[in-house]
Structure 1
Amino acid sequence: MSTAPAHKRSMVDFFQRHIANPITRRLPTQVLLETTGRVSGQRRTTPIGGRRDGTQFWLVAEHGETANYIRNIKANNAVRVRIGGRWHSGTAHLMPDDDAQARLETLPRVNSALVRTFGTDLLTVRIDLD
């Protein structure tokens, strides 16, 4: 990774971790992803954007496999997703062969625009809901 994407990711990560995420986690309409911490074993919630399609939920991770929630999924792919205020259990699958740019075209526009703008290494994730 060159220094420009690393610097961009560092800035975006700081903003999300310390400013945006603490606020958006509290919004009742915000979609949340709950993973299990790969080291701590504690529940971790991350505000995400995406779309439910039947028994699946699709999202695009803007920092790919370097995102902490993706690293947690790699260690334990049992997750929960809060959609419309209700929690759903599921199994997350990383989809590196999926065209993340094309996938963003099928997801909510505002979130997709933010992911395109701030993303450094896009990765599609499919969650099969129980």
Structure 2
Amino acid sequence: MSRLSDLRFRAATAFQRRVGNPVLRRLPLQTVLETTGRVSGLPRPTPVGGRRVGNSFWLVSEFGERSQYVRNIKADPRVRVRIRGRWHTGTAHLLPDDDPVARLRSLPRFNSMGVRAFGTDLLTVRVDLDG
């Protein structure tokens, strides 16, 4: 990873951890991905942008396998997603062969702009929702 990419990663994750995520995850209509902490076993809610298509929810991780929620998914793919205020259980799949830039074009524009601007290692994630 280049020095600039590392700096962008550290700055963005510090802001998200301390400011963005604590505020956004409390908003009732914010989409939230809840994973299980791979060490603690506790629920880890993360505000995300994405879109439900049928029985799947699609999103793009801006930092790929460096994202804490991606690391949690690798340890336990069972997740919950809050979409429009309603929780859904599902199984997350990391899709390294998917084109994340093309995928972002089909997801909500505002979030996609942020992911493209700050992301250093984009990774598509699909959550297959139960029932």
Which bracket does the TM-score occupy, shorter chain normalised?
A: over 0.9
RMSD: 0.4
Instruction: Structure 2: state its 5+ residue gaps.
Output: none
Matched, 1:129 2:126: no
Report the TM-score when normalising by structure 2.
0.98
Distance 2:95 2:49 in 1: 16
Query: Residues 85-124 of structure 1 correspond to what in structure 2 (within 5 A)?
Result: 85-124=85-124
Structure 1: 4+ residue segments shifted above 4 A: none
Partner of 2:49: 49
Query: Residues 1-130 of structure 1 correspond to what in structure 2 (within 5 A)?
Result: 1-130=1-130
Q: Summarize deviations over 1:41-86 as a string: whole Å, max 9, x none.
A: 1110000000000000000000000000000000000000000100
Distance 1:91 1:60 in 2: 16
Query: Post-superposition shift, 1:13?
Result: 0.4
Q: Summarize deviations over 1:87-124 as a string: whole Å, max 9, x none.
A: 00000000000000000000000000000001010000
Aligned residues: 130
Query: Post-superposition shift, 1:3?
Result: 1.1
Report the TM-score when normalising by structure 1.
0.99
Distance 2:81 2:123 in 1: 18
Instruction: Structure 1: state its 5+ residue gaps.
Output: none
Distance 1:16 1:120 in 2: 15
Write the letter of the residue equivalent to 1:77.
P
Identity of aligned residues (%): 63
